[in-house]
Amino acid sequence: MKISPFVLKPTFRYGSQTPWGGSELARLFHKEAPDPRTGESLEMSVIPSLESTDENGTSLSELISQYGADLTGTAVRGEFPLLLKLIDARERLSVQVHPDDSYAAANENKLGKTEAWVILACKPDASIVYGLKEGTDPGVLKAACESGTGVEDLLNYAPVHVGDVFYIPAGMVHAIGEGIVLYEIQQSSDVTYRFYDWNRTDAAGNKRALHIRQALDVTRYDLDTGKAVPRELSDPNCKRELLLDTPHFKLQRLLDCLNLPFTSHEESFSVLTALSGGFIECDQDKIHLAEGTTLFIPANCRDFRLTAKHCLLAGPAC
């Protein structure tokens, strides 16, 4: 059964859930952010209580149950594999790390989390925590975490600019810095282990909960801390760049698209986020895509054409 591509309506994490969040998602992408501290717009999500929907309010998990492989693809089996967010960090986030699939399955009964970031906006001196300094060993990190001092000296800081791409495999220590808006594609998991929060306290003087034992269990010390290097792909209808091809997802950047054709790809779905205004034409329908709009492209999709200046296209690694 052929299915038309459809716009996803996001859900949000905000307020006390994201005390570091801000108002940039509303300002840049006209999101209906529910709070001045809205940190995350979950564009494509089947996380319980945080599910995205179609424009009729039907949740993505309901659509998957209804359409099965026509929606997700013949190669997508088991749990829905991906989660897509737009994130606004008014303040820096906690230093954190995510487990791989085996640790998460054994300890959380969930998928692990490998993710990637594309920087969409940032202040001039913005940076992220991206791994550990070379030579840091488990004993030194454990002592610093347990004492609450010295952690910052062990972190690798990377300056960021609009368009930069960072791959964050499970086990990589990381934190989004202050004044950054980014696109995040990741495994469909909400497992995060925080091991440092900059000694911050809330209005009542309480510090955020940390997960030092689990964080130390899953931290890797052998990871590359270089940003991803895009590779240009040949396409007569746009400038197409392969940003990442990982064991869990693929990510492309599409620029200056003019009637770019899309056809069904029965093995897997894909998801397109418009970072500039544009539109698609499918049969006799024309769907406008405002900045920040995310479009779900079913595996067994009706043919359509895309016209837009700047988009990101992601899908599972099938």
Q: List the beta bridge partners of residue 130.
A: 174
Alpha-carbon Rg for the chain, nearest whole angstrom, is: 20
CA dist 212 and 220 (Å) reads: 14
Spatial separation of the C-alpha atoms in residues 301 and 4, rounded to whole Å:
6
Angle, vertex CA 53, rays to CA 190 and CA 180, nearest 5: 50
CATH of 231-316, one of 3.40.50.1100, 2.60.120.10, 3.10.20.30, 3.40.50.300: 2.60.120.10
Mean pLDDT of the chain: 96
Element (H, E) at 255: strand 249-262
3-class secondary structure per residue, 19-49: CCCECHHHHHHCCCCCCCCEEEEEEECCCCC
**In whole angstroms, what is the distance from residue 4 CA to residue 104 CA?**
35
What are the pLDDT digits (tens) for 186-237? 999 999 999 999 989 888 888 889 999 999 999 999 999 999 999 999 999 9
To the query of whether residue 200 is one of the catalytic residues in this protein, the response is: no
pLDDT at 1: 87
Q: One fold for both 6-218 and 231-316?
A: yes
User: For tokens 């609009």, what's the residue?
Assistant: 162
- Among 69, 71, 8, 77, which residue's Cα sits nearest to residue 42? 8
Which helix (H) or strand (E) segment holds residue 65: the answer is helix 60-67
The pTM of this model reads 0.97
Q: What share of the chain is helix, strand, coil (3-state, %, to 5)?
A: 15, 40, 45
| Residue 196, CA atoms < 13 Å, CB-side half-sphere | 24
| Residue among 273, 275, 84, 39 at smallest CA distance from 178 | 39
Q: How far apart are CA 112 and CA 104, in angstroms?
A: 5
Mean pLDDT of 102-119: 98
Provide the CATH number for the domain formed by 6-218 in this structure: 2.60.120.10
Domain spans in the chain, listed from the N-terminal domain onward: 6-218, 231-316
DSSP, res 15: G
Contacts of 63 (CB under 8 A, 6+ apart): 54, 71
pLDDT score for 191: 96
- Whether the CB-CB separation of 11 and 86 falls below 8 Å is answered with no
* Residue 115 per-residue DSSP state: E
- In the prediction, which pLDDT does 318 show? 78
The predicted-structure confidence for 147-182, as pLDDT tens digits, reads as follows 888 999 999 999 999 999 999 999 999 999 999 999
Residue 53, class by beta-carbon neighbours within 10 Å (0-12 exposed, 13-18 middle, 19+ buried)?
A: middle
pLDDT computed for residue 149 by the predictor? 86
Provide mean pLDDT across the span 113-138. 97
- Given the residues 37, 90, 194, 240, the one annotated as active site: 194
User: pLDDT tens across 234-275, in order?
Assistant: 999 999 999 999 999 999 999 999 999 999 999 999 999 999
Question: What pLDDT, in 10s, does the model give residues 18-62?
Answer: 999 999 999 999 999 999 999 999 999 999 999 999 999 999 999
